[in-house]
Structure 1
Amino acid sequence: MEFRHLAGFVAVAEELHFGRAAARLHIAQPPLSQQIRQLEHELGVQLFERNTRSVRLTSAGQAMLDPARQVLADLDVATRAAQAGGRGEIGRVSIGFAGASSHETLPRLTRAVRARHPGIELVLRGQTYSGEALNKVAEGELDLGFVRLPVRRDGVAVRLVEHEHLVAALPAEHRVADRNEINLPDLADEPFVTFPGTRGSAVRDALVHACVTAGFHPRIVQEAPDSYTILALVGAGVGVTLTVSSVQHIRTEGMVYRPLAGPTQPMSLALAWRRDNPSAALRCVLAVSEEAMPTPE
Structure 2
Amino acid sequence: MDIRHLRYFIAVAEEEHFTRAAERLHMAQPPLSQAIRQLESELGVQLLRRSTRHVALTAAGQAYLERARGILEELSSASDHARQVAAGTVGHLVLGCVGSATYSLLPQLSRGLAIELPGVDFAFRGEMLVPDQVTALRNGDIDLALLRPPIADLGLTVVQLRQDRLVVALPASHPLAATDRVRVKQLAGSDLIIHSAHRRSMMYDVTLGILREAGIEPHIRHEVGETSTLVTLVAGGLGVAIVPEPVSALQLEGVIYRPLVRPARTVSLAVAHRADRHEPHLVRALAVIRELT
CA distance in 1: counterparts of 2:105 and 2:25, whole angstroms: 50
Does the CA-based 8 Å contact 2:98-2:148 persist in structure 1? no
Matched with 1:186 is 186
1:212 Cα offset (Å): 1.3
1:5 Cα offset (Å): 2.2
SS at match of 2:261: coil
CA distance in 2: counterparts of 1:43 and 1:138, whole angstroms: 50
1:128-165 per-residue CA deviation (whole Å, 9 max, x = no partner) reads 22243245435655422112244454343322323311
* Stretch of structure 1 that moved more, 264-273 or 40-49: 40-49
Matched with 1:46 is 46
* Stretch of structure 1 that moved more, 231-240 or 23-32: 23-32
1:164-179 correspondence runs (5 A) = 164-179=164-179
1:128-167 correspondence runs (5 A) = 128-137=128-137, 142-167=142-167
CA distance in 2: counterparts of 1:18 and 1:116, whole angstroms: 48
Does the CA-based 8 Å contact 1:100-1:228 persist in structure 2? no
1:190-234 per-residue CA deviation (whole Å, 9 max, x = no partner) reads 111121112332222221121112211221111222222111111
1:269-297 per-residue CA deviation (whole Å, 9 max, x = no partner) reads 1111233224333223223323333xxxx
CA distance in 2: counterparts of 1:134 and 1:23, whole angstroms: 62
- In structure 2, the CA distance between the partners of 1:23 and 1:202, relative to structure 1 (3 Å rule), is farther
SS at match of 1:164: strand
1:20 Cα offset (Å): 4.0
Matched with 2:17 is 17
Unmatched tracts of structure 2, length 5 or more = none
Does the CA-based 8 Å contact 2:169-2:240 persist in structure 1? yes
CA distance in 2: counterparts of 1:119 and 1:270, whole angstroms: 25
Matched with 2:199 is 199
Q: Does 1:58 align with 2:58?
A: yes
1:18-60 per-residue CA deviation (whole Å, 9 max, x = no partner) reads 3443344454432221121122233343322333433333343
Does the CA-based 8 Å contact 2:17-2:53 persist in structure 1? no
SS at match of 2:216: coil
Does the CA-based 8 Å contact 2:169-2:243 persist in structure 1? yes
2:200 maps to amino acid: G
1:41 maps to amino acid: S
Does the CA-based 8 Å contact 2:146-2:272 persist in structure 1? yes
1:242 Cα offset (Å): 0.9
Does the CA-based 8 Å contact 1:203-1:243 persist in structure 2? yes
Does the CA-based 8 Å contact 1:172-1:235 persist in structure 2? yes
CA distance in 2: counterparts of 1:25 and 1:195, whole angstroms: 70
% identity of equivalent residues: 39
Matched with 1:216 is 216
* TM-score in terms of structure 2 length: 0.87
CA distance in 2: counterparts of 1:21 and 1:160, whole angstroms: 60
1:220 maps to amino acid: I
1:1-297 correspondence runs (5 A) = 1-137=1-137, 142-293=142-293
1:256 Cα offset (Å): 1.0
Does the CA-based 8 Å contact 2:100-2:244 persist in structure 1? no
1:130 maps to amino acid: V
Does the CA-based 8 Å contact 1:235-1:253 persist in structure 2? yes
1:171 Cα offset (Å): 1.1
SS at match of 1:145: strand
1:229-248 per-residue CA deviation (whole Å, 9 max, x = no partner) reads 11111111111111111111
Does the CA-based 8 Å contact 1:134-1:147 persist in structure 2? no
SS at match of 2:267: coil
- In structure 2, the CA distance between the partners of 1:152 and 1:26, relative to structure 1 (3 Å rule), is farther
- In structure 2, the CA distance between the partners of 1:72 and 1:139, relative to structure 1 (3 Å rule), is closer
Q: How many residues align?
A: 293
* Stretch of structure 1 that moved more, 275-284 or 214-223: 275-284
CA distance in 2: counterparts of 1:219 and 1:19, whole angstroms: 92
CA distance in 2: counterparts of 1:112 and 1:32, whole angstroms: 52
1:110 Cα offset (Å): 3.1
